[in-house]
Amino acid sequence: MTTRLIINADDYGRTPEISRGIRHAHLHGMVTSSTCMMNMPSVAADIKIAQKETPRLGLGVHLVLTAGKPLLPAEKVPGLTRANGSFLSQETLIEKAAGLDPSIIKQEWRAQVDAFIAAAGYKPTHLDSHHHSSYFTASIFKAMLELAHEYDLPIRLPIAHEQNQLPKDEPDYSADELDQFGPRLLEKFQPRSPDALFTTFYDQGATRAEFLRILRLFLPNSCFEIMCHPGFVDEAFARESGYAFQRQAELEILTDPALRKEVDRLGIKLISFAEL
């Protein structure tokens, strides 16, 4: 019985340096998978580089509603943008989420998936979402699940192991509702996914000790995902993001040979979403 592990690096394409760091974490460490922010300026070029330099790195789509601008014209995504054409902030999206039209969100997300296919020449390995926005309401999660079904793609689970909620850094938008609609919609659509998601390897929790603790929670003959955010960071990105140089700390841990030896010693097989 084999325990399988996906280590997924979010935010591929956010900047060229973050993308380079993710590729480094794959080539010299344990990252097996990443998800692309298809509305970022460098992402198509970064995908081409990944296809050349890291062909075994799984690439999915990081569905975006809270960073940059939509791929569709602003008039086609009413309610999703600010006056300057950018997506709403995370906090504003949470406030307005219940009143948003899920069909409009689904159209924008379909454009993001199609942009990946156009850039890569094949389907993404899976879907997840920036700031976990696909899990904010039942109707938004249903839109994600419909897309996953349409393109026959796995997804990231909406509820993290141990926490019964999204990561602690995320605003509390309605964890109780997620506990209700998440399992119900998963049962209805039955998407492929790992058996559990671990989100605690983040910020102050991104330590060698926490990584080892997570490994010891795995069960035989199961599949798990660890979410992570490694990357190289330049000063320009550090000025605009609250999660910047922490990415380089994650990168150092995820490329630690001693941790990789422990993964191997425990008989854990590293895979991507493509192998689900």
Q: Tokens in use for 110?
A: 């379909």
Q: Architecture of domain 3-275 in CATH?
A: Alpha-Beta Barrel (3.20)
Rounded mean pLDDT, 110-138:
97
**Cα gap 168→201, rounded to integer Å:** 11
28-48 pLDDT per residue, tens? 999 999 999 999 999 999 999
Confidence (pLDDT) at 166:
46
In the chain, % of residues over pLDDT 70: 95
Amino acid 134: pLDDT = 96
Q: Which helix (H) or strand (E) holds 199?
A: none
CA neighbours closer than 13 Å in the CB half-sphere of residue 54: 25
Amino acid present at 214:
I
d(CA 82, CA 242): 21
Is residue 272 within 8 Å of 6, Cβ to Cβ? yes
55 pLDDT exceeds 90? yes
What DSSP designation does 81 have? Answer: B
pLDDT surpasses 50 at 4: yes
pLDDT digits (tens, 9 = 90+) for 211-251: 999 999 998 999 999 999 999 999 999 998 999 999 999 99
Tell me if 116 sits within 8 A of 47, measured CB to CB. yes
The larger pLDDT score, comparing residue 209 to residue 167, is at 209
pLDDT one-digit tens code per residue, 164-201? 444 444 444 455 588 889 999 999 999 999 999 999 99
